[in-house]
Chains A and B, each alone.
Chain A
Amino acid sequence: MNQIEGEGYKASIDEAQQILRIEGTLRLNGLGEYVPISAMLSRLLLLGATPVLDLTSLGFLNSSGIAVLSKFVIEARTLNLQTLRILGAESVPWQGKSLRNLQRLMPALTLELI
């Protein structure tokens, strides 16, 4: 599946570009409800050597979502990926605060806050 939509959020994969875009507001209940998103994140890592996660339009993410993102980064690290780009937005306050921790999990990760 290349796109999933739920109340207030959307996630879509562009296979050719190796980009997964997650947009909207994500505050699902626990890791269980995040399974479809986690599955898409895992798929992104299998598309090629230069995956990009675009979160620029993700206005809100709860701590369960932060746990899901950290799992994804650790998965990338385990796969020995040489690069992983995460795009964020300077204008979305949570991103500057919480995305930086992901870089500490995987030094090869580039975080670009636009």
Chain B
Amino acid sequence: MVVEYYGAQVGLPVMSERLILSFSPGQLPLKQRWRNNGLSADFMGDYVTAFFPRDDGEPSTARRQAEIKGAVTYIANELLENAMKYHDESSTALIELTLEMGEDKLIFRLRHAVTIARLAVLREFIARLTASDADTLYMEQLEENAMSAQSSGLGLLTMINDYNADIAWQFESVAEMNWCVGTQVCMPI
């Protein structure tokens, strides 16, 4: 098995709180499944609020809870949208999104099967990200989007720029012509 790593892989203690959503790619048309991204992302956002309780006597706790809930919902939704759009339709491997909660960070891990064509696009994106800073790339991407019918990579760039997240990838060849991509999004809290 070949594994390629891009970016810093981060781990949390085994006992850390975690939530795992796992689902089959299935046969339903994308359009019909699309709203499930929002339902799952809302659920993840709501779920984490238990770990960041509000104290009615301390307004900053309510703000922090709302910030974290908003960030989790946004990032989870973007990752799930990417999984829906880019998973390899010929694979029956499950799509899995894990959220791990640490003292000072949240880690999202998305894993799904990808085609070799998608890997090439991702490699190019990662190379651009490495060669430039995310902020410049983000503004360039916004300008480029205005001229095209695509908005590729913008979700990942907003996570980095607007949510201070670090992103790392893991490409795994599970069999010949059969690849899985792991996307790790680490957000400080």
Contact = CB atoms under 8 A, between A and B. Distances in A.
B77 A62 contact: yes
A31 B151 CA distance: 7
A32 B78 CA distance: 17
B116 interface: no
Contacts, number: 71
A93 B162 CA distance: 11
A27 interface: yes
Contacts of A62: 74, 77-78, 81, 155
Interface residues on B, range: 20 to 34
A92 to B, nearest CB: 8
Q: Specify the main secondary structure of chain A where it touches its partner.
A: helix
Contacts of A60: 73-74, 77
Interface string B54-87: 0000000000001101110110011001000000
A101 B151 contact: no
Interface residues of A, number: 27
Nearest to A99: B162
16 contacts: A29-B34, A60-B73, A62-B74, A62-B77, A62-B78, A63-B151, A63-B155, A66-B154, A66-B158, A67-B151, A71-B146, A74-B146, A93-B67, A97-B162, A98-B162, A105-B139
B78 A63 contact: yes
